[in-house]
Amino acid sequence: MTYPVIGEHLYKHYKKQVVLDDVSLTLRESEIYGLIGPSGAGKTTLVRILLGLEKADGGRVELFEQAPTLNAFRSLGYMAQSDALYNELSAYQNLEFFAAIQGMRGKEKKRRIREVAKNVGLENDLKKSVSQFSGGMRRRLSLAAALVHEPRLYLLDEPTVGLDPLIRRDIWRLFHYLRSKGATMIVTTHVMDEVAQCDRVGLLSEGHIIAEGAPKELMRQYGVSTIEDVFLVREGAKS
Ligand SMILES: Nc1ncnc2c1ncn2[C@@H]1O[C@H](COP(=O)(O)OP(=O)(O)OP(=O)(O)O)[C@@H](O)[C@H]1O
Ligand SMILES: [Mg+2]
């Protein structure tokens, strides 16, 4: 088995603030790993380090068991916490841009743009300028942009924030479908019902992964019946 992501002994600080203090995490093939933790815990920082967008002060990252390279970047679908879209372009043009930088061309590119737009429920909004999009539409377009080149590994930073329950449900169905096709995902979220849909969960707090495991296993370990309670027990114990 190859491991899509290996992060070992990662450290990161900003000035005097220590954000990651010896964090290690390994993602297995075809799993959805939910990364949770209080706001400011370092989830985004960790994801950016795994991607190679941010440099760790110490530690090592391997993607598909190799040091991250530009080539590895092509196997990745990244969705940032804040949408990186071109407002003055249409939704179609945005997807076309992201598909092109991933090396897609011609008919295949067109087919995939239509397909991912449908996946996120934007098939009837492709001609609209992104400047006219609602927050949820922007989020969905960002997700489509991360999916367009059919990556093997997804790093999704709060992909469903601001989306209504129906769309969230459809997007989670899509995540499960992608996983069934062999994709691996790391998803950060504050939504606990989403956490329960992950294969494994890591709780990041005060620089450490303080709990990790399958949702059911964590609930059993903490003697609670929801993942929210695992979070509250661990976090509440400090206050
Ligand atoms: N470029 C930066 N310069 C200085 N401090 C930073 C920088 N990026 C992040 N931080 C700090 O690092 C800490 C972790 O931030 P990060 O964005 O990783 O948290 P998070 O867990 O993703 O939070 P949220 O759930 O709110 O998205 C925060 O205290 C933040 O202020
Ligand atoms: Mg974040």
Residue bearing the CA closest to ligand 1, atom 26: 39
Q: Residue 237: its pLDDT value, please?
A: 62
**C-alpha dist (Å) from residue 209 to 29, 61, 228:** 20, 16, 16
The ligand minimizing its distance to the Cα of 18 is 1
CA 208 to centroid of ligand 1, rounded, Å: 14
CATH 3.40.50.300 fits 29-54+86-236, yes or no: yes
Please identify every stretch of the chain with a pLDDT value under 70, giving residue numbers as ranges: 237-239
Residue bearing the CA closest to ligand 1, atom 10: 14
Q: Residue 235: its pLDDT value, please?
A: 77
Q: For ligand 1, what atom is nearest to the CA of residue 15?
A: 4
DSSP track, 4-60: SEEEEEEEEEETTEEEEEEEEEEE-TT-EEEEE-STTSSHHHHHHHHHTSS--SEEE
Q: Residue 234: its pLDDT value, please?
A: 78
